Amino acid sequence: MLDSAIAERIIINYKNIMQDCLDNKIQTVLDIPYFDDELEQEEYEDLDNPFESEDSIEVSRNCKDN
């Protein structure tokens, strides 16, 4: 499926995570980075989830209506 996505130019490339872990002798999942050359893990986890915001707005509207 990923090879066909490359052929259709949907994605540029992909990495076999299991093979990468074996090649780099990864011992634990904690050693696997979330994203290569991206924001740090804490920055992603600190970002607001837009769905949580929408849910809280909907709940407050329902409370005001009742």
45/40 Cα distance (integer angstroms): 9
If one compares 19 and 60, the residue with the highest pLDDT of the two is 19
Q: What is the pLDDT of residue 56?
A: 59
Q: Residues 6 or more apart from 17 whose CB is under 8 A from it?
A: 32
Taking phi first (over 0 means left), then psi (-120 to 50 degrees means alpha), and beta for anything else, what does residue 17 get?
alpha
33/28 Cα distance (integer angstroms): 11
Give the tens place of pLDDT for each residue, 43-60.
Answer: 656 666 666 655 556 665
Model pTM?
0.36
Asked whether the predicted pLDDT for residue 62 surpasses 80, the reply is no
**In which band, very low, low, confident or very high, does the pLDDT at 7 lie, cut at 50, 70 and 90?**
very high
Q: Which pair of structure tokens corresponds to residue 11?
A: 């994605």
